């Protein structure tokens, strides 16, 4: 079993910054990819950003140039630095990790419990 522990959400004014962290623990051989999704009220969950163990990143168009995702492979942790936040960034942010328990296992998707990010105008 794998656990994802998220931290860093909160309330911030438009134009401000927040940093989210997500640490994975448990039976982990590899994690590829790892990243963040978000879900606003009344909307479907959407990709924010993902990162591979080699460092390649993928961002939603809506956050490019404002959000930066990084990863510490030794700690199985990802960090999402969110700058120039907008009210439309308000959502519950969920950490996601595609985890292999061994080299012979297919990846399995794990999700964190979510952390609220609220951006006031």
What are 18-36's pLDDT values in tens digits? 999 999 999 999 999 999 9
Residue from 14, 18, 49 nearest 34 by CA: 49
Asked whether the beta carbons of 76 and 31 are under 8 A apart, the reply is: yes
Q: Quote the pLDDT of residue 81.
A: 98
Residue 120 CB partners (closer than 8 Å, separation 6+) = 11, 12, 13, 14, 87
Mean pLDDT computed over 58-62: 98
Q: Quote the pLDDT of residue 60.
A: 98
Where b means 16+ CB within 10 Å and e means fewer, 20-38 reads: bbbbbeeeeeebebbbbbb
Mean pLDDT computed over 90-112: 97
């Amino acid at each position: 079993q794998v656990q994802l522990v998220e931290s860093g959400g909160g309330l911030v004014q438009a134009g401000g910054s927040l940093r989210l962290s997500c640490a994975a623990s448990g039976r982990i051989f590899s994690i590829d990819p790892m990243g963040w999704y978000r879900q606003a009220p009344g909307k479907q969950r959407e990709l924010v950003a993902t990162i591979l163990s080699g460092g390649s990143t993928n961002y939603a168009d809506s956050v490019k140039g404002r959000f930066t995702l990084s990863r510490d492979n030794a700690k199985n942790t990802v960090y999402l630095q969110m700058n120039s936040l907008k009210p439309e960034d308000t959502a519950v942010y969920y950490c996601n990790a595609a985890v292999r328990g061994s080299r012979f296992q297919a990846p399995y998707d794990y999700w964190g419990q979510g952390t609220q990010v609220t951006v006031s105008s």
